[in-house]
Structure 1
Amino acid sequence: MDMSSGFERDTSAPVGRAAQQAVEAMTRAGEGLPRPEQTRVMVVANQKGGVGKTTTTVNLAASLALHGARVLVIDLDPQGNASTALGIDHHSEVASIYDVLVDSKPLSGVVQPVPDIEGLFCAPATIDLAGAEIELVSLVARESRLERAISAYEQPLDYVLIDCPPSLGLLTVNALVAGAEVVIPIQCEYYALEGLGQLLRNVELVRGHLNPHLHVSTIILTMYDGRTRLASQVADEVRSHFGKEVLRTNIPRSVRISEAPSYGQTVLTYDPGSSGSLSYLEAAREIALRDPLAAQDQSAQQHGTEGTQ
């Protein structure tokens, strides 16, 4: 994929202008964010439902776009919640990621621009995707169909964020083969780490057999309520377990974040000045400033050490 050179934004739409003002308020004291040398493909996954996976995908994507990046969201969840939250039409007749995976349609034939946020695009999910797990079984190179589609996409992109279904089937495997970085949202509530072991084992399996570049680059704590002792205990436990992979920024429990998707918006355009919006902007900034290659090397060293024990 080619990389573009421009970062100029069209903020003529009122919501886009308001969101851009929020970005500028945060960055007046500093410089703009660096663009990655090559496209960063990030898989947002957690098979435990209700952890803010889709919410995190769309709001991080919108934040990165508002910071000046070109970002593609790939909706791999048959429910299509990411598509809905981005205001993207995804009724059954719309060309979607299903056509890419099952019928080898070029990704460029399904990508739609997201309203009000320049530089943000979405490959939507339709209900047809619910049957894709079964249909993929008989196809050649079934695990790498998404990776090949992304590689063939010729429009310049800085980031690709893939919203996975809450399961560990062939759709999620396609995402893990396509990406280098895994982003795991963890809810700051009881049983937060439940089921995480299976996801991490699957990441290691895919890493060992299908995608040696795959690694967990980012853990993001969601639904954080600073008024409760439980939230801080969960945050401390996650930080002690995962260390530097955990973002410093916690995403707060927020009515605004919850309301935004029902209006076909991210929180960035729904309420640009809210705590939820500012938190996602800061989380995106952290991610953009990280060195993905350094994190990958560290993960490889840990993997090698474990293999020799």
Structure 2
Amino acid sequence: MARSLEAPAKQKIHQTKAIERLVSFANGKGGVGKTTTAANVGGYAALAGARVLLVDLDPQGDLARDLGYERQSGQELFNALIAGTAPAILKNIRENLDVIPGGQALEDIQGLMVSRANRSDAGDFGDLLYAVLEPLADDYDLILVDTPPGERTLVEGAFAISSAVVIPTRSDEASIDGVERVARRFLAVRDRNPALQLAGVVLFGVGPRSMRLERSVRESLKEMLGSVAPVFDTRIRNLESASADARKKGLLFHELEGAVTEAQKDRLRALRSGQKPSDGFFSRNAAGLAEEFEQLTGEILTRLNEIEGGDRR
């Protein structure tokens, strides 16, 4: 049975100001499509002409795999957080799309915050992150933050300065439990950041013949979250071959669609000329996933417009 959520007891805390159009992607469990969703939504928004900044707060730094840039250590972002200085930004990873990379150095954030806890003038991680990102806000139409599944300090710090949260989830019980965990973190931060809204839940990796299961999951999520957030209509199907190709090649799904088509043409040309076809892709058609992410991006942007317009459902 789904569990309804109650806000934790209030305590005296300082408030922070949300950065407009800063959206965190979060789930309390890994492997639910969080990073892939953030990367592809950012890619489609950029393709539509928006200036997008993707911020990788995950020590695993997996945005590098989805976007195809060299994996980073995260040390430059860590240093910027300590000093409150401008972070290193990877420019034009795609047209209109920049990235602040994460990496293993971010594992030290928890220790840093413990060491600062007894200083009266020391802010928490949300304050440090705000000092780094707020000066950049005017340069971008949209800032998307990929948060780690298990680092409470990093997740709640991101929530403290976000205007909205998107929760991707698979349909298994462990993933739904992850939704509950991240929703509780959302509620824990809400007094500090009253502007924070749950934009919605994304069903990720749904099987093509699992409509009954999908309906059950949607009902469970709606029962758990009540009127706090919608479950987006668009769900991302489970297509392992395309997902493997996308990460192997460092391509977003709309890019993979074109690459698969070209690879098929090259294969046919090689066969006709009597040559051995080169190794190509596992998938034969990524058009469906590309279309789903395009539709999801539209839903998320529409939801952000509703939030800005005062629809706090």
TM bucket by the smaller chain? 0.7 to 0.9
What's the counterpart of residue 104 of structure 1?
84
Tell me the distance in 1 between the aligned counterparts of 2:21 and 2:63: 19
Distance 1:254 1:113, change over 3 A: farther
Structure 2 unaligned spans of 5+? 1-18, 117-121, 259-285
Corresponding residue pairs, total: 257
Q: Which residue identity lines up with residue 251 of structure 2 in the other structure?
A: Q
Structure 1 ranges of 4+ moved more than 6 A: none
Say if 1:189 and 1:231, in contact at 8 Å, map to a contact too: no
What's the counterpart of residue 261 of structure 1?
247
What's the counterpart of residue 50 of structure 1?
31
Tell me the distance in 2 between the aligned counterparts of 1:263 and 1:240: 39
Tell me the distance in 1 between the aligned counterparts of 2:154 and 2:83: 15
Say if 2:20 and 2:162, in contact at 8 Å, map to a contact too: no
Q: Which residue identity lines up with residue 245 of structure 2 in the other structure?
A: E
Say if 2:205 and 2:236, in contact at 8 Å, map to a contact too: yes
Distance 1:156 1:200, change over 3 A: same
CA displacement, residues 57-87 of structure 1 (integer Å, 9 cap, x when unaligned): 1111111111111111100000000133212
Task: Measure how far apart 1:204 and its partner are.
Answer: 1.3
What's the counterpart of residue 233 of structure 2?
248
Structure 1 unaligned spans of 5+? 1-37, 300-309
Say if 1:102 and 1:132, in contact at 8 Å, map to a contact too: no
State the TM-score, normalized to the length of structure 2: 0.75
Aligned partner (choices 169, 185, 188) of residue 202 of structure 1? 185
Aligned partner (choices 64, 79, 82) of residue 83 of structure 1? 64
Distance 1:39 1:88, change over 3 A: farther
What's the counterpart of residue 307 of structure 2?
293
Secondary structure of the residue aligned to 2:169 is strand
State the TM-score, normalized to the length of structure 1: 0.75
Aligned partner (choices 101, 113, 128) of residue 136 of structure 1? 113
What's the counterpart of residue 141 of structure 2?
158
Secondary structure of the residue aligned to 2:198 is strand
What's the counterpart of residue 216 of structure 2?
233
Say if 2:20 and 2:163, in contact at 8 Å, map to a contact too: no
What's the counterpart of residue 47 of structure 2?
66
Tell me the distance in 2 between the aligned counterparts of 1:133 and 1:199: 18
Distance 1:271 1:113, change over 3 A: farther
Q: Which has the larger radius of gyration?
A: 2
Percent of pairs with identical residues: 27
Say if 2:197 and 2:307, in contact at 8 Å, map to a contact too: no
Say if 2:55 and 2:144, in contact at 8 Å, map to a contact too: yes
Task: Measure how far apart 1:188 and its partner are.
Answer: 2.2
Distance 1:135 1:241, change over 3 A: closer
- The reply to whether residue 119 of structure 1 matches residue 133 of structure 2 is no
CA displacement, residues 228-265 of structure 1 (integer Å, 9 cap, x when unaligned): 24334223433455466211111111231343122222
